[in-house]
Amino acid sequence: MTDSRAADFAKTPFWWIAAPRPPIAEAQLPASADVVIVGSGVTGLNAARELARGGRDVVVLDRGEAGIGATSRNAGHIGRVLKHEFTQLVSGLGLAKAIEIYREMQAAYDSVGEVTKGEGIDCEYRVSGRVILAYTPQQLEMVEAECAAKKTHLGEDYTMLDRVGLKVELDSPLFVGGAYLPESASLHPGLYHLGLLAAAQKAGVNVLPGTDVVSIDNIGTVDAPRFVVRTSRGEIAARDVIVATNGYTGPGIPGWFRRRLVPFDAFMIASEELAPETMRAILPGNRVYIDANRNVNFFRQSPDGKRVLYGGRTGGRPPADLSTIGTKLFDDARKILPGLDGRKLGRVWTGRCAGTIDLYPHIGVQDGIHYAAGYCFAGIPMGTYLGRKLAWGMLGRKEGATGFRERAMPGHPIYWGNPWFVPLYMKFYDLLDWRDGGRP
């Protein structure tokens, strides 16, 4: 193996090459707005666009550049992914409820295609298919059982692949087999975000990056809220407020949210540019790939087909210098994909997601503040879907209905907003994966 430490790799998301974060312009803060949205990611912008089209005067605030959060840092896999597997929901909640919840996962998946098509967003959206990879026969059995149940009750197609069948998908010695899911997509998250931003601005939304929200106060009543949003650049009066800060929820956002959203760090790398024949040898199937571990490793080709993009070690403590995690991830990637041996690391970056105590995504209203968050790593579809639901609900439209409103976002008696336990929790997952034969 070459020493990736010797490489001069960048420490910003690969996606920002084609989709640099828009510079912050010093636009004036308005004195008031119908709706102030905190967070300019996939959730905030999908809500903003729909609200503006519904006639509302909408301001979106972000403390950094627009889309600086997880929305422009993720892997760009789009699936129907919930932390609770379908078979678990059937056992816990019964078949009818499990089907209802997973039908909404399908609707969330579909929403990304609808928005990219409807808004004409050119973001390399592609129904690429997904391969779930098993390191052991036991993992393969579990993957198959889940796929079979979904096929029976939801009609989701899949094909099981053995070691030989996998060879057309990827060159790896580690997997005993996998499941190919044809209906699964991928996109370029940076371009998706820029497209959402342009669509929101075209609809009349005032997006003001470089504006840190320091407090949100309801000076009306719970039934007739009226807000003052204080920011690093002044105050805005608003009839309604949406919190769309997900993994970046922190000071400035009311404590109720900080005590319910559990932020965790995720890490990704990009290889250096590879020759087309090298890429064809490493990932000939050109799908998105994810292993069957509890703490998953995930990878794909970049949309231009020149780099392998790889993520893993999710929830680990962020090191002082990203080089350390970059080097470790590249070593992991080379164990899974030995064709990367002798190649160099091109980039490493990190981003923040949010989980919830009950591992469900949530949408709702708390003390008059609207919110959607807690996507547990599946935020492109869920943020698109629930962002629009937020807006439609506020506009009084029936399309705002969703089963994800039914559950109140729970807290935990010992969680007060400091996620110190996440790295330990994820280490425990790693240990279970290792015990069960998961690698690398």
Ligand X SMILES: Cc1cc2nc3c(=O)[nH]c(=O)nc-3n(C[C@H](O)[C@H](O)[C@H](O)COP(=O)(O)OP(=O)(O)OC[C@H]3O[C@@H](n4cnc5c(N)ncnc54)[C@H](O)[C@@H]3O)c2cc1C
Instruction: Enumerate binding residues for ligand X (CB under 6 A).
Output: 38-44, 61-64, 68-71, 73-77, 212-213, 244-248, 250, 252-253, 266, 268, 311, 351-353, 373, 375, 377-381, 383
Min dist CB 190 to ligand X, Å, is: 11
Q: Is the dihedral of CA 254, 420, 74, 79 positive or negative?
A: negative
Nearer to ligand X, 279 or 378 (CB): 378
Q: How near is the Cβ of 77 to ligand X at its closest, in Å? A: 3
Q: Shortest distance, CB of residue 135 to ligand X, whole angstroms?
A: 21
Distance of CA 390 to the CA centre of its chain: 18
Q: What CA–CA distance (Å, rounded) separates 37 from 243?
A: 6
- Quick one: angle between helices 95-118 and 189-202, nearest 10? 70
Q: Which is nearer to ligand X, 315 or 339 (CB)?
A: 315
- Which helix (H) or strand (E) covers residue 353, if one does? strand 345-356
291 Cβ partners below 8 Å, 6+ apart? 132, 133, 134, 135, 175, 297, 298, 336, 438
**Nearer CB in complex with ligand X: 300/343:** 300
Give the C-alpha separation, 295 to 76, whole Å: 18
Report the residue closest to ligand X, judged by CB. 379
- Residue 347 beta carbon to ligand X: minimum distance, rounded to whole angstroms: 12
Comparing CB distances to ligand X, the nearer of 135 and 371 is 371
DSSP-derived letter for residue 71 is: G
For the CB of residue 250, give the shortest distance to ligand X in the complex, in Å: 6
Closer to ligand X by Cβ: residue 11 or 342: 11
Please say whether the beta carbons of 419 and 356 come within 8 A.
Answer: no
Helical H segments across 321-378, by residue range: 322-336
Contacts of 137 (CB under 8 A, 6+ apart): 176
Nearer to ligand X, 91 or 232 (CB): 232
Q: What is the DSSP letter of 126?
A: B
CB atoms within 10 A of CB 92: 10
Rounded to a whole number of angstroms, the minimum distance from the CB of residue 98 to ligand X is 21
* Selection from 133, 190, 169 nearest residue 304 by Cα: 190
Nearer to ligand X, 6 or 347 (CB): 347
Min dist CB 23 to ligand X, Å, is 15
